[in-house]
Amino acid sequence: MFLLAGVPQRLQNYNDPVSQSMTLPSLPEDFDELDETKRTRAEVFYRDRLVHYHYVKSMEECNKLHYAAFMDPMYALRGRLFTHTSSPWEGETFELKLALIQATERWNALTGGDVRCPIEFDAEEIRETRKLNKVQEEADMLFETIRNMIGLGEEGWVSTENYEDVVAFFKARKEEGLADAESEEERVEIMNNWPWDDMDEEKYM
């Protein structure tokens, strides 16, 4: 059941603090005074929060077995372990390693304590992994803040009326990043990995 439990991907809004707190969402008090762009953005946030909220509440009331699996303290860790071990390997194992470290630390709760944990990590490896995870979480948080601030949707979607402004915004941010780079190597990294550049989609089709 833990593999099936949860909010469907198209409905989930886990990264939003309002959805995380399971507070009944509402539109901003100054909604009527907002300009059209901000009003549209507020409506999108409200819709995403409302759908997530009512899905979880309906699950609690109408599908108690599903809800019990969803609320299990080990639910998220079990799900991550299954996802990262079963996904095709693409050269990046950090999230799997982090999940395995968490599994060793919570092994008794995860398994009931009847089986000896078959893996172990030394203290330095754990420290370095957690340090890198903190850096990644901060980068993800900044990324999400920027997305929300300018109304950037999943996979770079943006409304037609805001397109030119968003392009100008990210062009300016890229120029700032290049100007602040401390080495030619860092500038090359920015140029090659800037997430909001136009790209040739042919090779992905």
Place of tokens 């372990």: 81
Query: Is residue 65 very low, low, confident or very high in pLDDT (cuts 50, 70, 90)?
Result: very high
Q: Answer yes or no: is pLDDT of 85 > 90.
A: no
Give residue 144's pLDDT: 80
Tokens of 128: 């370095």
Closest CA to 127 of 107, 106, 97: 97
Q: How far apart are CA 73 and CA 2, in angstroms?
A: 11
Q: Answer yes or no: is pLDDT of 156 > 80.
A: no
Give residue 195's pLDDT: 81
Residue of 1 and 178 predicted with greater confidence: 178
Give residue 88's pLDDT: 75
Q: Answer yes or no: is pLDDT of 55 > 60.
A: yes
Q: How far apart are CA 105 and CA 102, in angstroms?
A: 5
Q: Which DSSP symbol is given to 6?
A: S
User: For 34-192, where are the E strands, in sequence order?
Assistant: none
Residue 78: how many other CB atoms lie within 10 Å: 17
Averaged pLDDT for residues 173-199: 86
Place of tokens 């078959």: 118
Give residue 204's pLDDT: 53
pLDDT in tens, 86-130: 877 776 788 999 999 999 999 999 988 788 999 999 999 999 999
**What is the average pLDDT value for the chain, to the nearest integer?**
87
Q: Answer yes or no: is pLDDT of 197 > 60.
A: yes
